[in-house]
Structure 1
Amino acid sequence: MDWGPAKQRAARDLGLPRAALPGNDEVEDAVREHIAIFHADTQPGELRALRELAATWMGRLAEFRPHLTGAVWRGTATRLSNVHLQLYCDDSKATEIALLNRGLSFDVAETSAGRGRSVDMLILDVPCPALGERVTLCLTILDFDDLRGALKPDARGLTERGDLSALQTLLDTPG
């Protein structure tokens, strides 16, 4: 789950105002600590498998300028994580047509794209041979113009997403 929805659910379940919850950086730090303590032996391999799967799909969807985001990009993913790709398209229906032409089935949902606007998310159930199981692939369809500023780093100097070249650099970096 993304930090925002997770924090909203936690606030609701605990009966707290959302302002009482930690910031995204604090949540991410806690997740990294949890992984280091409880999943250090399995998480690196699972993360690599999900990143390789993302790279495969980014290659397949290259015409839509895919960028990996979320836990798989940030390095906090486990085998239970979804793979999130953001696609930057001139025509929002072009991705759906391309998937249908390839004989792929998907569900359509709506997600927030910031600034109060909703966009389509295509959800696929795809095999991940390295994990020996199926993984949810979420394709968020954004306007081509949204690509500007998409690679701006956060306060820690980390980006929220990366293209196939950036992902390949992560895959090629040991450790």
Structure 2
Amino acid sequence: MRDVESLLAVAAGHVVDDGLDYAGAKQKAAKALGYRGSLPSNEALEDAVREHIAVFHADEQPGELRALRALALDWMQRLQPLRPHLSGAVWRGTATRRSAVMIDLYCDDPKAAELLLLDQGLAFEAGPAGPASRHGDTCDVLSLWVPCRPFGERVMLHLWVHDLDDLRGALKPDARGRAWRGDAAAVARLLAPEVTP
């Protein structure tokens, strides 16, 4: 049990401090520790990431998360015809300034996203989702660096292009009942100032 806890702690550091995805962080931690058991679930790693943030980044992370969510909402509004849904660490609340913004798009035409970006004069890299695809599917991913004013630097934006038919299954919650992604209205609610009585 202690080995798994050590692996989760090291992997969480890679996610938060190095910007690695969950699969890459678990593999790197396992290799560094010589761990040969089954890799823990993404939910277990997410819990460890939250603990890491609480211990090492509690002061700056909420502001960084808010800046990334605002950036995501701006892009979701630009991409509205493609039914954008925010996912990944920015949606789940574990993002820091090193995190990529991940937006899932659901399109009738798989080339619609590329055409929309080209119409806006934006440079991007296109490629298939690799074996570390978050959903286990074979969707295309469009990646581009976009400016984030609060950080004074650019952050990576990944657009995962799915078939429209995939949208229904994408809205299923995780084992704990939490949504894996949310639409623009849900992101706007996350950004709304808290009302105190």
TM-score, length-scaled by structure 1: 0.91
Gaps of at least 5 residues in structure 2 are 1-19
Among 118, 141, 148, the alignment partner of 1:128 is: 148
Among 5, 10, 21, the alignment partner of 1:2 is: 21
* Number of equivalent positions: 173
Does the 8 Å CA contact 1:7/1:18 hold for their aligned counterparts? no
Shift in alpha-carbon separation, 1:159–1:107, aligned structure 2, 3 A: same
Does the 8 Å CA contact 1:2/1:70 hold for their aligned counterparts? no
Shift in alpha-carbon separation, 1:92–1:28, aligned structure 2, 3 A: same
The structure in which a higher percent of residues are strand is: 1
What does residue 80 of structure 1 align with?
Answer: 98
The one-letter amino acid paired with 1:6 is: A
Moved over 6 A (4+): none
- Deviation digits for residues 110-168 of structure 1, max 9, x if unmatched? 213645x4221000110011221111000010000000121111111111111001111
| Counterparts of 2:85 and 2:154, CA distance in 1 | 21
TM-score, length-scaled by structure 2: 0.82
Superposed displacement of residue 3, structure 1: 1.7
- Deviation digits for residues 45-104 of structure 1, max 9, x if unmatched? 000000000000000000000000000000000000000000000111111011111110
Q: Name the % identity.
A: 58
Gaps of at least 5 residues in structure 1 are none
Cα RMSD (Å) of the superposition?
1.7
